[in-house]
Chain A
Amino acid sequence: MDFIPSEEHAMIRRQVRQIAAGFDLDFWRDSDKHKRYPHEFFDAFAAAGWLGIAIPEAYGGSGLGIVEACILLQEICASGAGTSGAAPIHFSIFPPMPVVKHGTEEQKRAYLPKIADGTMKLGFSITEPDAGTDTTRITTRAIREGDHYIFNGKKIWSTNLQNADRTLILVRTTPYEEVERKTTGMSLFLMDLKSPGITIREIEKLGRHAVDSNELFMDNVKVPASDLIGEEGQGFYHLIAGLNPERLMVAAEAIGIGRAALDLAVKYANERIVFNRPIGKNQGIQFPLADAYSKLEVADLMVQKGAWLYDQGMPCGAEANMAKLRAGADAFEACDAALQTLGGMGYAKEYHVERLWREIRLYKIAPVSQEMCLNYIGEHVLKLPKSY
């Protein structure tokens, strides 16, 4: 076993940190306050070639794995950028994965180089108002007519669509009632968001105001058959192959956010004098921070293990779910302990912790809820009966 980061990993971490350092906490506070998409931040990472980290070299990327993608996203978050910084980058890494794995040669040539250089931005549209955790219940319908499909239906929570060119969307090509296995009959498309019949409406939410999440309405939208990714009816299977890496990447992001919050809290605890001593001298302040820090470090080991397994082509479902579960819970705890450390200033925008606290709350819900991670571990790892 070897826990020493390779030269390459150390350099990735350092370089990401350096670019992210060009965008300070005030930049993120203002982006959040004014709901400003961080275009400059995205462009800086695009220009330095980071978006193509997991896209094969033949299509303009660097052909690295999820281990490296996790380092990238974690360092972005640890800079204090939070999900406001990670989400735009994340959406250039995760949605293209089914295209890399199942796309045709023409699709790869048409899309991947543009995704890698940042000229094409993507969204991801799975969740529907009546199908969140139970994906098989989606009802957005695609009916084939000659060389195209007609889409009708509604998605919710599709992130990044205000700036995206296309979205990776899961639709039913065969209705739920007509399939023998409920996980079949769904198909993946890389849908052009400029198509007539599309309406996008932003959702007001708790945090991460810089990056939009939306309702997406489709009214007789004509989608070329050439935008079908992989096999018709097999979309769910194409998609789940990418869910473990997404869980790992989100866990890595959460840990980064927790670290950023702890950094701010430690600095404050060393400086803030109450009762003639720095508040950090009180174990009541110190212990929650130390506890949270140790939990984040442990969660990070699970992220690294899961990512390594995935990159070796080995099963990583247990690790990905455990990493997401731990990181989601522990990073929230870290942000909460940080906020408590700052007292009233924890609640003030000026001190940045409240933004991280609002942002991290998301990772106990999306992209998969804590409960569903527990369901996975109960059923697939502990071999208890399926509970739902």
Chain B
Amino acid sequence: MKIAVLMKRVPDTASVLKITPDNKSVDMANLKFVMSPYDEHAIEEALKIREAGKATEVIVFTVGPEGSQETIRTALAMGADRAVFVKEDPSRFNSKGIAEMLAAAVKTEGPELVFAGKQAVDDDASQVPERVAELLDLPHASIVTKFELNGRAATVEREIEGGSYTVEVPLPALFTMQKGINTPRYPTLPNIMKAKKKEIKEFSLADLGLDAAKLVSGLEVSGMSLPRANRLNKILDGDSTERVKKLLTILREEEKVL
């Protein structure tokens, strides 16, 4: 049984973002990139299943520009067996196009399980995996916090507001992972060495039989802005009990953040 993991390269969560002069995209020059943290959980879960002897192969799929190889190697160094790389600049497309590329790529391998992070931490769209599932006509369950295989089905716990519910999904199927499902491993040095020799299969749109013009959707980004930090410059007086009370009142009633 093969497991496909959808993985996205995102700007390092610690980096300071700048917006391009047209206010329509993030300035990608001089950014460092990492694997989207939820995808680390997806890979970890897939590796655990393979290590338990229930899967034969973990294959990582990504759509990204030249330079994504470094993030792909990280996935391989965590322990994934090989990777499929659709070399396309994702900023030219949105969720629809990316999902079509991934669906076409995943189809070439025919996995029983497809895993992904519950969202990518750059655009937070939470769309791609679900679209892939629809395109491949697979059942899917999102925001999974517990995953168990039993024969030809998976029993999973999904996180919902204030609780969780358990669903059983027949395979093949797609699942998106939430933090807390596991602790992603560090690539060890010996595994970094092994990753060098693992295969990264590259596809272009033409290889997948896709036409760029048909992958764009009607969605267009009309503007982008960074959150503004305003200082209130308020100093609260009184003893510490009073100050805490005043602070809570401000947070609740004036700023409405609690």
Contacts and interface: CB of A to CB of B under 8 A. Distances in A.
Interface of A: 7-8, 10-12, 14-15, 18-19, 47-50, 52-53, 62-64
B66 interface: no
B189 A53 contact: yes
B196 A8 contact: yes
Taking each of A8, A10, A64, which has the highest tally of chain B beta carbons within 10 Å of its own beta carbon? Answer: A8
Contacts of A18: 186
B70 A48 contact: no
A62 B189 contact: yes
A11 B195 CA distance: 11
Give chain A's interface secondary structure class.
Answer: helix
26 contacts: A7-B69, A8-B73, A8-B192, A8-B196, A10-B70, A11-B73, A11-B74, A11-B77, A11-B195, A15-B187, A15-B189, A15-B192, A18-B186, A19-B186, A47-B188, A48-B186, A48-B187, A48-B189, A49-B189, A49-B190, A49-B191, A50-B188, A52-B189, A53-B189, A63-B193, A64-B193
A12 B192 contact: yes
Interface in B169-203: 186-193, 195-196
B188 A48 contact: yes
Nearest to B32: A14
Nearest to A50: B189
Nearest to A45: B189
8 shortest A-B CB distances, which residue pairs? A49-B189, A49-B188, A48-B188, A49-B190, A62-B189, A50-B189, A7-B70, A48-B186
Given A18-B186, A50-B188, 18 more contacts: A7-B70, A7-B73, A11-B70, A11-B187, A11-B192, A11-B195, A12-B192, A14-B34, A14-B74, A15-B187, A48-B186, A48-B187, A49-B189, A49-B190, A49-B191, A52-B189, A62-B189, A64-B193
A252 B77 CA distance: 25
A7 B192 CA distance: 10
A22 to B, nearest CB: 9
Contacts of B196: 8
A162 to B, nearest CB: 27
Contacts of A47: 188
Contacts of B191: 49
A325 B69 CA distance: 37
B175 to A, nearest CB: 26
Interface of B: 34, 69-70, 73-74, 77, 186-193, 195-196
B201 to A, nearest CB: 17
A49 to B, nearest CB: 4
Contacts of A15: 77, 186-187, 189, 192
Contacts of A7: 69-70, 73
Contacts of A64: 193
A14 B195 CA distance: 15
Contacts of B77: 11, 15
Contacts of A48: 186-189
Contacts of B193: 62-64
A388 B220 CA distance: 75
A63 B194 CA distance: 12
A19 B70 CA distance: 18
Nearest to B14: A21
Nearest to B185: A48
B67 to A, nearest CB: 10
Contacts of A11: 70, 73-74, 77, 187, 192, 195
Taking each of A11, A50, A53, which has the highest tally of chain B beta carbons within 10 Å of its own beta carbon? Answer: A11
A144 B117 CA distance: 65
A70 to B, nearest CB: 15
Nearest to A72: B189
Nearest to A44: B186
A75 to B, nearest CB: 13
A12 B74 CA distance: 10
A52 to B, nearest CB: 7
A116 to B, nearest CB: 10
Contacts of B73: 7-8, 11
Contacts of B192: 8, 11-12, 15
B190 A62 contact: yes
B19 to A, nearest CB: 21
Contacts of A12: 189, 192
Contacts of A62: 189-190, 193
Nearest to B186: A48
B41 to A, nearest CB: 16
A18 B184 CA distance: 12
Nearest to B195: A11
A62 B77 CA distance: 14
